[in-house]
Amino acid sequence: MSERTAYASVEDVELLFRPLTPEERTRCEALLPRISDLLRQAAKNVGKDLDAMLEAGTLYESVAATVTVDIAARYLRQSTAGEPLSQESQTALGYNWQGTYAVPGGGIANAVMNNDLRRLGLVKRQRIGGIELYDPDQGRSGRSDGENADGH
């Protein structure tokens, strides 16, 4: 497996996000190359090469670094102490517990959002298109002999 560089460094994460604890720093060192490879794969899936885009100047290095830092920050915000819940409620006596998981399925790939891919130019913009179902010269009946569908 060839060694590719990450689009951002741990120092970038600390500058753009916040200072990291030693444990978070270790996790971040492992995350950054994986996030960069996820982005490379996302580009490959749409027929693009991020590294070539960076070399050609069609993508700024700072944009790739910022997207990588944003994904790393989003992932590092997830709790590792237990299950990552976005909401939790408990009641007593009859005991009832409810929780909503912040990241169903979890994982690094779920931390990558469409907005991240859009900033890298990897999401195609939606276009509106239409098909003319009826020939405007023939009318709605589809008849070309000049008669309408009711025979007139």
Q: Ranked by mean pLDDT, which of 38-47, 87-96, 119-128 comes out on top?
A: 38-47
Enumerate the β-bridge partners of residue 100: 87
Position 101 scores a pLDDT of: 65
Domain residue spans in the chain?
10-119
Position 147 scores a pLDDT of: 59
Enumerate the β-bridge partners of residue 89: 98
The answer on pLDDT for 85 being more than 70 is no
The answer on pLDDT for 1 being more than 50 is no
DSSP structural state of residue 145: S
The answer on pLDDT for 109 being more than 80 is no
Residue spans of alpha helices (H) in 109-148: 114-119
Q: Rounded mean pLDDT of 49-77?
A: 92
Helix (H) or strand (E) holding 97: strand 96-101
Confidence of residue 77 (pLDDT cuts 50, 70, 90): confident
Q: Is the dihedral of CA 45, 46, 50, 56 positive or negative?
A: positive
Confidence of residue 100 (pLDDT cuts 50, 70, 90): confident
CB-based contacts of 53, cutoff 8 Å, min separation 6: 43, 59, 121
CB-based contacts of 149, cutoff 8 Å, min separation 6: 140, 141, 143
The answer to pTM > 0.75 is: no
